[in-house]
Amino acid sequence: MSKKGFTSHGFESVSPKAWKQQIQFELTGADYNTSVITHRQEGIKVKPFYTSEDLLTSSPTHKSAQAATPQGNINDFLISFEVYANHSDMANKKALWCVEKGCDKIIFLVQESIEHPEKLLANIPIDIHINLILQKPSSQQIENFSSYLNRVGNPRWQCSTDPISHFLIHGKWWKSEIEDGKLLEELIEKLPGGILTIDSRICHSAGAHMSLQLAHAMSHFTSYAIQLSEKNTLSKIKEVHFQLHTGNDFLMEISKLKALDLLWASVCQSLHISIPYVLCVEGAAIDKTLYTNNTNTIRNSTQLLSGVIAGAQEILCTPYDRIHKKSHAYSDRLAINQALILKHECHFENIKDPLSGSYAVERLSYELAEKALEIYQKTEAKGGLIAGMLRHEIQRDMQSQYQKTLEKFQKGDAVLIGANYLAKHEPLSLEKYPFIKKQHNKTLVPPLVPKRYAMEWEQKIQRDSHENR
């Protein structure tokens, strides 16, 4: 044996061209383009391999991976949980329970019935991060919440409202576009150093492809930025919080989140904005299944891992059985434990931006960002996200993309365990209706409807099971 240190023993380097030729040779006549290249809905071709030749080298470059946000270790993320707050005591109890189980952050979905935050926040340790998202604010509620938070002065306790997200999901405003906008302005005005929450999860749930999700997240922010800049209050925003879903395509999801970073840096630089953003990632809803639902735990771990690797600052825990069950301690705790395992057991403590330099992810994130920028610019050229919703274009685009993906499942080109693969009927106690509820309320525009690819198979399983009975 050689006594010297390790060298790769004179193995010859192989060019990407030779590699590709070897693949073509092994394909024995099959078409390279259709056999090994993945053609994605975003218009991106994913190659079978990437090499250093795929790295982009020309300037201008984006140096900090997350604009103006200090880059920590990837396990520095906050573990957060959404608590529905319709009743102060109950929500407070739930929040305290979440903290005890390991959450660092509570996102309260504050309903209009909660007039004052004091009881909601009773006994919550000061080092816990809070985002009180007002779901249907009134001026009085904003006054109560902002004056309380200003008095407490805990920079970790924040309050926000996201009227556009409400509009996307419900197809209507609380009152009107102008009045809802005013409520947002009031909140920003009264709570300096506040945050802007951009809940963009619905785009993923409604079927949007990755670049569309990113483009609409940017448009969503842009609508607020234009509005607030007109009132000269944009500078009061301390952080922008993007809430995104990640799906099962692990490598592409990492690329998507890194693409958000490129986009954000590019948008901020061009618009002369300097606001750090916080990325909050939740496992997707669209690819979860009612049956064989322990697989949802597996899916969540893949989906959250892509968020962690991409450097998300917040991981939002979601139970595996949320499709059909109301919140309950067992699955809530299991969801929190998933994030705790990612944080403490994966040896991520000294890892920063781990895919920096990755030939594939660097390249694909750029390509996704490029496509997203195109869509974003087109949307904005036509008046922005709301205008697109009013013309029903946004809804149509998402529906068409959802349909294309669904067809892949129907043809068997894509798989969901428990739906179009290894499906079986299991007795389930449904505490919630697991399919799309018909909206009977009048809306201004058709809303973006959250869907799941598995639904048609699940309904078939249910029908078959009824017939067999």
H/E element holding 368? helix 359-381
Beta-bridge partner residues of 279 = 242
197-226: which residues touch other proteins (CB under 8 A)? Answer: 222, 225-226
C-beta closer to other proteins: residue 205 or 303: 303
Are β-strands 129-134 and 78-85 bridged in parallel, bridged antiparallel, or unpaired? unpaired
Q: Which of 289, 263, 339, 331 is nearest to 451 (CA)?
A: 289
Tokens 């790295």 label which residue?
55
Candidates 131-139, 181-189, 346-354, 396-404; binding stretch for other proteins (CB under 8 A): 346-354
Under 8 Å between Cβ of 279 and 287: no
Task: Please name the residue that has the structure tokens 């309380």.
Answer: 148
Query: Which residues inside 3-22 make contact with other proteins, applying CB under 8 A?
Result: 3, 5-9, 11-14, 16, 18-19, 22
Name the minimum Å distance from CB 341 to other proteins. 5
Alpha carbon 21 to its chain centroid, in Å, reads 38
Q: Which stretch binds other proteins (CB under 8 A): 140-148, 172-180, 352-360, 456-464?
A: 352-360
**Which of 31, 39, 48, 328: binder of other proteins (CB under 8 A)?**
48
Q: Is 62 in the site for other proteins (CB under 8 A)?
A: yes
Closest by alpha carbon to 319, among 432, 213, 421, 403?
432
Structure token pair of residue 137: 């604010």
Query: Is-contact 342 290, C-beta < 8 A?
Result: no
What is the C-alpha separation between 446 and 54, in angstroms, rounded? Answer: 42
Single residue of 212, 305, 323, 455 touching other proteins by CB under 8 A: 305
341 binds other proteins (CB under 8 A): yes
Under the binding rule (CB under 8 A), the answer on residue 415 touching other proteins is: yes
Q: Is 366 a binder of other proteins (CB under 8 A)?
A: yes
Residue among 151, 272, 440, 442 that touches other proteins (CB under 8 A): 272
113 or 269: whose CB is closer to other proteins?
A: 269
**34 — phi, psi (to 5°)?**
-100, -20
| Segment near other proteins (CB under 8 A); pick from 206-214, 291-299, 431-439, 454-462 | 291-299
Closest Cα partner for 265 from 351, 371, 373, 364? 373
Query: What's the min distance (Å) between Cβ of 219 and other proteins?
Result: 9
- Per CB under 8 A, 293 contacts other proteins: no
Q: Give the CB-side neighbour count of residue 20, counting CA atoms within 13 A.
A: 12
Q: In 123-209, where does DSSP find H-type helix?
A: 139-152, 163-170, 177-190, 201-205
Site for other proteins in 64-103 (CB under 8 A): 65, 101-102
Residues of span 97-136 touching other proteins by CB under 8 A = 101-102
User: Considering only residues 252-271, where is the footprint of other proteins by CB under 8 A?
Assistant: 252, 258, 262-263, 265-267, 269-271
CB of 191 to other proteins, least distance (A): 21
* Structure tokens given for 262: 């490129």
To other proteins, the closest distance from the beta carbon of 114 in angstroms equals: 29
Beta strand pairing status for 314-316 and 78-85? parallel
In this structure, the number of other CB atoms found within 10 A of the CB of residue 424 comes to 9
Closer by beta carbon to other proteins, 172 or else 333: 333
- Cα distance between residue 373 and residue 263, in whole Å: 7
DSSP codes of every residue in 287-332: T--SSSTTHHHHHHHHHHHHHHHTT-SEEE---TTTTT----HHHH
Nearer to other proteins, 13 or 441 (CB): 13
CB of 139 or CB of 269, closer to other proteins: 269
Closest CB to other proteins among 191 and 228? 228
CB of 71 to other proteins, least distance (A): 12
The string of DSSP letters for 148-163 reads: HHHHH--TTEEEEE-H
Place of tokens 């449904």: 430
Beta strands in 192-303 (DSSP E): 194-199, 237-246, 277-283
Least Å distance, CB 248 to other proteins, is 5
Q: Should residue 55 be labelled a site residue for other proteins when binding is judged by CB under 8 A?
A: yes
Binding piece for other proteins, criterion CB under 8 A, among 55-63, 129-137, 389-397, 429-437: 55-63
In the chain, the largest separation of any two C-alpha atoms, in whole Å, equals 80
Number of residues counted as binding other proteins (CB under 8 A): 113
Nearer to other proteins, 177 or 249 (CB): 249
Binding-site member from 72, 122, 150, 330 for other proteins (CB under 8 A):
330
Nearer to other proteins, 239 or 353 (CB): 353
Q: Does 359 bind other proteins (CB under 8 A)?
A: yes
Cα distance between residue 175 and residue 183, in whole Å: 10
Instruction: Please pick, from the candidates 108, 174, 348, 457, the single residue that binds other proteins as defined by CB under 8 A.
Output: 348
